[in-house]
Amino acid sequence: MCDSTIKEGVKTLYKSVAKEEKILAYCILHKNHITLTQMKRKQCLQKECKYFRKEQHSFWVLREMKKEHKKLRKILNIGDYNMESLEKESIGVVSLSGGIDSSTCLGLAVAMHTSKNVFAYGFEYGSKHPEEMKNAQIIADYYEVPFTVIKISPDLWKDSSSTLLKGGGKLQLDKSYSQIIEENGEGKVDTYVPGRNLLFMAHINSIAESLSEKYKKLVYVYGGMHADDAAGAAYPDCSPPFYKAVAEAMKISSVDKVIFKAPFINMNKAAIVKLGLSLQQPVPYNQTLSCYEPINGLPCRRCATCIDVEKALVLNNKTWEWYMEGR
């Protein structure tokens, strides 16, 4: 269907508009977006409408988008930042691994800035699960966001005993992180990679500052650190003190042009999944990979991360079969 045909349909159907009501809707049709302003919501959602059938097309109504923005601003602690201004004056940069947490970060960033103002970056660093970058690309494509993989030499960790790295020993299986901490006491778990997130954020900050210079915009950096990983000092580079320190370093380095946000720092994985499912463009969790020892690119269901993922799914009334659908 060509744009002219659709526009003609719009003219015919929406001659009468209410001046006091301004509603923005996006009609997603053959990947063509048409902006409709000053429309009555009831007209916008008419079932009999040939071009805009409720059951066939996705509509983003401005009023609903503002509600979502209000919720997300609260999570991000951005304050009462005008939605249109946020889109025009800022950029979102996401560290994307292809897992549940970072994929939700990407969904959140797109909801806040729109896909045309978001950039995603992943890292290959010698882990046992490099397949995650394929999932990261799938998630980035779903949100129509450019994705770049940055390669870091695994030689940096040649003296590390982390079981997450190739040659680092066997992973503990069939135990959740809480069980591991209960058995071994608080402190770094054996899958912790020394300074990994600090190194990732240093790269991301350099990119963010460069983007700020290029586009003359404020840049929001999004990281997926969350409360489950920080519990018991299992991953110290996911803790609130780490987040605050990195945020301050980015602020100083960029002269207030880069703002680091870790929206899930006080949330567990179940809450993250709940948020991701509630977005206007929900996170496709069945395309994510949050596994430390995948088998043929599929989650093993036995590592601590998979166990925590399944728990989060259950708390959101989702099954493992739902999570695996379409893989």
pLDDT in the model for residue 49: 41
Q: Quick check: 17 pLDDT over 60?
A: no
Q: Quick check: 113 pLDDT over 60?
A: yes
With respect to residue 13, please indicate whether it lies within any of the assigned structural domains. no
With respect to residue 14, please indicate whether it lies within any of the assigned structural domains. no
| Domain of residue 228, CATH code | 3.40.50.620
Per-residue pLDDT tens for 68-89?
767 776 777 765 555 555 666 8
Same domain, 198 and 275: yes
Total count of domains within the chain: 2
Same domain, 40 and 145: no
Same domain, 297 and 199: yes
Q: Is 256 left (phi over 0), alpha (psi -120 to 50) or beta?
A: left
Per-residue pLDDT tens for 169-180?
999 999 999 999
Can you tell me the distance from the alpha carbon of 184 to that of 258, in angstroms, rounded to the nearest whole number? 38
pTM, full prediction: 0.79
Same domain, 188 and 44: no
Same domain, 282 and 173: yes
Q: Tokens in use for 315?
A: 């708390």
Among 7-11, 38-42, 65-69, the range with the most confident prediction by mean pLDDT is 65-69
Q: Quick check: 279 pLDDT over 60?
A: yes
- Residue with more model confidence, 73 or 218: 218
Same domain, 141 and 34: no
Dihedral sign of CA atoms 102, 326, 125, 190 in order:
positive
Same domain, 81 and 45: no
Same domain, 129 and 252: yes
Express as a percent the part of the chain with pLDDT over 90: 72
Domain that holds residue 29: 20-60
